[in-house]
Amino acid sequence: MTKSTKNELGSFRDPSGNIFYQNNNVYRSVNCVYQDNYSQLINSGLYNKLTKLGYLVKHKEVKNPKNVFKVLKPDPIPFISYPYEWCFGQLKAAALLTLNIQKIALDHDMSLKDATAFNVQFIGNKPIFIDTLSFEKYVKDSPWVAYRQFCQHFLAPLSLMSYTDVRLNSLLSSFLDGIPLDLTTKLLPVSAKIKPGIFAHIILNAKSQQVMATTSQDKNKYKVSKLGLEGIIDSLISTVSSLKPKKIKSTWGQYYSNTNYQTKSFDSKKRLVLSLFKGLSVKSILDLGSNNGLFSDVVSKTGAYVISADYDQNAVEDNFTNIKKDNILPLVIDFTNPSPNLGWANTERKSFWDRLNVEAIMMLATIHHLAIGNNLPFDNIASLISQHCRYLIIEFIGKDDSQVKILLSQRDDIFTDYNQESFESEFGKYFITIKKENIPHSNRTLHLMEKK
């Protein structure tokens, strides 16, 4: 291993291999212990089948690897996201992808040896399985070793988001190996527990974990025929497919349809934003506070990869369901409390800001939510943003705007510094303003800034 090689700190559980970085490229080493399984993955045609379907990430084998069986160079993933940053639709798509892969794997006499949601990533709107070493040879009449993990990582959060509250996906950041089934059982309403799929895969499963937890058993005595196993996978697919997100009343889910602002100046704003980005020719953008992704869609036309993030579950769900582009990645992120470093030694899962590497950040109709809605001083916002981009396109909305008036209507106006001059002076500490435009038919201004 050379000096420029860096191991991925979250890749240590599976002895089959590990992820490392070299010269800004991602590699996956395959250890000799995984040799037979890897050979079957390739020789059985499973790898070809899954990559042709776009289910599994493609890779190239690196020539003459040292000390290991193989070194693979997988196709790059533009941004690594985590299950607790996904909306319901994304988690459901990832669950169905995992089950369909398991179904196809069984046809090729292989089986998934793990079924964590972290094995799936999104390229834009499309889920893709990234762990090439998750496949093992199927042993006749053996149960699915990853069944409980699948239920904890996918079925438990999806059921809770469907029957209890869609915001419960945040539990996945507390329970990195999936939501415990006994906890899921406690949180689900009776109307969910009587559904056959949930009763079988969560309620009975939780009970059997408890019954067997204190008994020493020979695992080999449990036999499940392949047909029976296919039946279980089929049942999981129909259970997951039947789940729908529980709609909650949210403030910003219908933002664009509730405001009269768009009818007057939306088109002008769209044209203005697009022209600003066309001049920059950036390849990656974070749309911070993207709502339902309307403006992410606009700027995606430049060809840039857009991370379209908002804290509102309903808005992100709309974004994922309606826009469907391979260069827009919708994510549920609360920017006042984004995903932290988590897991073993707090290095296993990186924080949102640590993973972010974009050229531009776009903050449209967001500043008032941060500054007034969350009492964040302009300096704190500008300082953080300047650490993560070269260009910033930001919309300033004054106190005379109807949306700001709504925010201030229920509280004392303690924000004496919330004005255009203060905004420009505080952001001016970190950025140079390249362009400042008034958005026609509104009191709002759009600023293009470059980091000092």
Partner 1 sequence: MISKKTSLETLALLFTISFLWPKPSLAYLDPGSGSYMIQMFLAATVGLGYVFRNYLKQFKNLFKKHDKVDKK
- Strand, helix or coil at 111? strand
Q: Work out whether 212 is an interface residue with partner 1 (CB under 8 A).
A: yes
Between 226-242 and 88-107, two packed helices, what is the crossing angle to 10 degrees?
160
Question: Among 78-86, 223-231, 263-271, 320-328, which window interacts with partner 1 (CB under 8 A)?
Answer: 223-231
Q: Are 28 and 71 in contact (CB under 8 A)?
A: yes
Q: Mention every residue, 6+ apart, whose C-beta is less than 8 A from residue 265.
A: 439, 440, 441, 442, 444
Q: Work out whether 280 is an interface residue with partner 1 (CB under 8 A).
A: no
Q: Work out whether 190 is an interface residue with partner 1 (CB under 8 A).
A: yes
Rule CB under 8 A: choose which of 90, 132, 205, 291 binds partner 1.
205
3-state helix, strand, coil in the chain (%, to 5): 45, 20, 35
Minimum Å gap between C-beta 348 and partner 1 is 21
Distance (Å, whole) CA 330 – CA 322: 11
Q: Work out whether 215 is an interface residue with partner 1 (CB under 8 A).
A: yes
Q: Work out whether 334 is an interface residue with partner 1 (CB under 8 A).
A: no
Q: Work out whether 41 is an interface residue with partner 1 (CB under 8 A).
A: no
How far lies 450's CA from each of 278, 285, 353, 385, in Å? 15, 14, 19, 11
**Alpha-carbon 174 to chain mean position:** 16
DSSP 370-417: IIIIS---HHHHHHHHHTS-SEEEEEE--TTSHHHHHHHHTS----TT
Rule CB under 8 A: choose which of 28, 108, 148, 369 binds partner 1.
148
Amino acid, res. 225: S
How far lies 363's CA from each of 278, 382, 408, in Å? 17, 11, 20
- Strand, helix or coil at 27? strand
Pairing outcome for strands 135-137 and 110-112: antiparallel
Site string for partner 1, 101-140 (x = CB under 8 A): ----------------------------------------
Nearest to residue 27, comparing CAs of 53, 1, 45? 1
Element (H, E) at 75: none
Distance (Å, whole) CA 24 – CA 171: 32
Q: Work out whether 200 is an interface residue with partner 1 (CB under 8 A).
A: yes
Rule CB under 8 A: choose which of 9, 68, 77, 232 binds partner 1.
232
Q: For partner 1, which is the closer residue by CB, 233 or 361?
A: 233
Q: Are 176 and 84 in contact (CB under 8 A)?
A: no
Q: For partner 1, which is the closer residue by CB, 96 or 183?
A: 183
Minimum Å gap between C-beta 158 and partner 1 is 18
Rule CB under 8 A: choose which of 216, 257, 409, 410 binds partner 1.
216
Write b or e for each residue in 25-40: b if 16 or more Cβ atoms lie within 10 A of its Cβ, otherwise e: ebbbbbbeebeebbeb
Q: For partner 1, which is the closer residue by CB, 63 or 219?
A: 219
Give the tokens for residue 59: 């890779």
Rule CB under 8 A: choose which of 106, 145, 274, 342 binds partner 1.
145
Q: Work out whether 4 is an interface residue with partner 1 (CB under 8 A).
A: no
Q: For partner 1, which is the closer residue by CB, 207 or 436?
A: 207
Q: Work out whether 210 is an interface residue with partner 1 (CB under 8 A).
A: yes
Rule CB under 8 A: choose which of 34, 147, 261, 427 binds partner 1.
147
Rule CB under 8 A: choose which of 31, 44, 164, 235 binds partner 1.
235
Q: Work out whether 278 is an interface residue with partner 1 (CB under 8 A).
A: no
Q: Work out whether 13 is an interface residue with partner 1 (CB under 8 A).
A: no
Rule CB under 8 A: choose which of 214, 257, 260, 410 binds partner 1.
214
Q: Are 365 and 28 in contact (CB under 8 A)?
A: no
Rule CB under 8 A: choose which of 5, 39, 48, 208 binds partner 1.
208
Torsions phi, psi for 158 (to 5 deg): -65, -40
How far lies 55's CA from each of 120, 132, 181, in Å? 10, 11, 28
Q: Work out whether 68 is an interface residue with partner 1 (CB under 8 A).
A: no
Question: Among 119-127, 176-184, 278-286, 330-338, which window interacts with partner 1 (CB under 8 A)?
Answer: 176-184
Q: Work out whether 22 is an interface residue with partner 1 (CB under 8 A).
A: no
Q: Work out whether 213 is an interface residue with partner 1 (CB under 8 A).
A: yes
Minimum Å gap between C-beta 144 and partner 1 is 7
- Apex 86 CA angle, 94 and 376, nearest 5: 170
Q: Work out whether 348 is an interface residue with partner 1 (CB under 8 A).
A: no
Question: Among 86-94, 132-140, 171-179, 229-237, which window interacts with partner 1 (CB under 8 A)?
Answer: 229-237
Q: Work out whether 219 is an interface residue with partner 1 (CB under 8 A).
A: yes
Rule CB under 8 A: choose which of 45, 76, 231, 340 binds partner 1.
231
Interacting residue ranges for partner 1, rule: CB under 8 A: 143-145, 147-148, 151, 180-183, 185-186, 190, 193, 199-201, 203-217, 219, 222-225, 227-232, 234-235
